[in-house]
């Protein structure tokens, strides 16, 4: 039965304390306090008058890398100065204490890594590097940004001359198989899947709570707004994500 009233953090702390393996699944909501809007949500102002489903599509990158990077470069820029927040820090602390097995994230913003999370699965990739799909060379973000800024063509190029593609999963692309397998394995092995800042509506990540439950684990949710799992989870907290996770760390 879902619990969303006072005492929810204590209930969550009990669940976590009784678990041998706790895995966090995080979405855009955990990075909102860092000033990163959920770019899938309308009205966030990031790409006004532009449909990210169209621009951030693999076909758009193939057809017109200059236009792709014109918009995507702005996204890189907007993420550049963002810092991990207390929610990212709480998960890193729980991992350090041996409470948390790892984090599966839909986010591409590097903030879990920068907060200190070690066992991290980035199912939608990361802006941390970009790759050449022709020769396979990979370049770190700083190099990509420099090449974009200095490029006469309007896109960062590989040494071989071909345009680079950020190592994020664009619309129209498959999720990386290795990352998905790791995510499924972690969900199957979890006594508690702690879903944070995710609507649990984007496939295939939306399958993870079901995998945890089928293998005998519990689903806990710390997310503002409804999810399809609200009536099937052990606990649902819908307060501020930083406050809820900070309280969880304090309660353990
Ligand atoms: Zn190349």
For residue 82, CA distances in Å to 112, 113, 132, 147, 165 come to: 12, 13, 26, 21, 22
What is the 72 CA–ligand 1 centroid distance (Å)?
19
Question: Among residues 242, 91, 92, 64, which one has the least CA distance to residue 163?
Answer: 64
What is the 164 CA–ligand 1 centroid distance (Å)?
8
d(CA 106, CA 214): 22
> Residue positions in the annotated binding site for Zn(2+)?
132, 135, 158, 160
Q: What pLDDT shows up at residue 204?
A: 85
What is the 167 CA–ligand 1 centroid distance (Å)?
14
> Using CB atoms within 10 A of its CB, is residue 87 exposed (0-12), middle (13-18) or buried (19+)?
buried
> Residue positions in the annotated binding site?
132, 135, 158, 160
pLDDT < 70: residue spans in the chain: 1-7, 39-50, 52
For residues 24 and 115, is the Cβ–Cβ distance under 8 A?
no
Q: What is the separation of C-alpha 144 from the centre of its chain, rounded to a whole number of angstroms?
A: 21
26-73 tens-digit pLDDT? 999 999 999 987 755 544 445 556 676 777 889 999 999 999 998 888
Percentage of the residues of the chain whose pLDDT score is greater than 70:
92
Residue list, CB under 5 A from ion ligand 1 = 132, 134-135, 137, 158, 160, 162
124 is catalytic: yes
10-31 tens-digit pLDDT? 999 999 999 999 999 999 999 9
What is the 144 CA–ligand 1 centroid distance (Å)?
13
CA trace torsion 204, 205, 210, 213 (10° rounding): 150
Q: What pLDDT shows up at residue 171?
A: 87
d(CA 40, CA 63): 22
CA trace torsion 137, 141, 142, 144 (10° rounding): 60
Supply the pTM of this predicted model.
0.90
What is the 131 CA–ligand 1 centroid distance (Å)?
8
> Using CB atoms within 10 A of its CB, is residue 176 exposed (0-12), middle (13-18) or buried (19+)?
middle
Buried b (16+ CB within 10 A) or exposed e, 217-245: bbbbbbbeeebebeeebbbbbbebbbebb
What is the 140 CA–ligand 1 centroid distance (Å)?
14
For residues 48 and 2, is the Cβ–Cβ distance under 8 A?
no
Residue tagged active-site, from 57, 88, 124, 129: 124
For residue 153, CA distances in Å to 65, 127, 161, 162, 207 come to: 9, 21, 11, 11, 41
CA trace torsion 245, 249, 251, 252 (10° rounding): 130
């Amino acid at each position: 039965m879902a619990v969303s009233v006072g005492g929810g953090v204590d209930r969550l702390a009990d669940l976590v304390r009784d678990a041998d393996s706790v895995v966090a699944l995080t979405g855009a909501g955990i990075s909102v306090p860092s000033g990163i809007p959920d770019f899938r949500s309308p009205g966030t102002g990031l790409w006004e008058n532009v449909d990210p489903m169209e621009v951030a599509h693999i076909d758009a990158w193939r057809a017109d890398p200059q236009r792709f990077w014109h918009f995507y470069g702005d996204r890189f820029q907007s993420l550049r100065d963002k810092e991990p927040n207390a929610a990212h820090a709480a998960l890193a602390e729980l991992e350090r204490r041996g409470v948390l097995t790892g984090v599966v994230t839909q986010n591409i913003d590097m903030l879990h890594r920068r907060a200190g999370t070690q066992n991290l699965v980035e199912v939608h990739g990361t802006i941390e590097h970009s790759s050449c799909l022709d020769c396979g060379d990979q370049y770190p973000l700083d190099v990509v940004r420099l090449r974009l800024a200095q490029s006469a063509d309007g896109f960062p190029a590989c040494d071989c001359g071909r345009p680079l593609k950020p190592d994020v999963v664009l619309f129209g692309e498959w999720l990386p198989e290795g990352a998905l397998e790791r995510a499924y394995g972690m969900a199957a092995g979890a006594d508690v899947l702690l879903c944070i800042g995710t609507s649990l509506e984007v496939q295939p990540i939306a399958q993870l709570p079901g995998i945890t439950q089928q293998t005998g684990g519990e689903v806990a949710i710390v997310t503002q707004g409804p999810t399809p799992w609200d009536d099937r989870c052990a606990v649902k907290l819908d307060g501020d994500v930083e406050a809820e996770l900070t309280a969880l760390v304090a309660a353990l």
